[in-house]
Amino acid sequence: MTMPPSIHIETQTFYVDGQSVPEQDKYVFAYTIQIHNQSEQTVQLLRRHWLISDANGQQVEVDGEGVVGEKPTLAPDEQYSYTSGAVLETPVGTMQGHYVMKTIMQTEEQQEFQVDIPLFRLAIPNILN
């Protein structure tokens, strides 16, 4: 079995003040994910899995095809970024998960593999020291 391709994930989060209603426990966050294919193989993102947790301990799992309606294909050294959002009942929470991707090779059978998305924090500005 060959090693799965090297995929690097970066995250950036934003609090969306204009869509949030703290009096109703509605805190809206946007996040941008950048996916960088650092391997020598072309890959395609097939599915996503998220675990979204708020400060009350509530957890929501989200599974779906692709990301933002797309199943991007990344050639070697190519990058893909997208922005999406999450709504929490608390001003602080976390997200983590994984992508299911596959290699696109002419000579071999396509191989699915999982890319972990490290835990990242969703928080309104200046709430955490």
Residue whose pair of structure tokens reads 């490290």 in the numeric block: 118
pLDDT tens digits, residue range 54-75? 999 999 999 999 999 999 999 9
Q: Please work out, in degrees rounded to the nearest 5, the angle formed at the alpha carbon of residue 112 by the alpha carbons of 110 and 116.
A: 150
- Using 50, 70 and 90 to split pLDDT, how confident is the model at 128? low
pLDDT tens digits, residue range 79-98? 999 999 999 999 999 999 99
Q: Given a cut of 80, is residue 110 above it in pLDDT?
A: no
Answer yes or no: CATH 3.40.50.800 is held by domain 7-122: no
- Kindly state the tokens that stand for 33: 């994910």
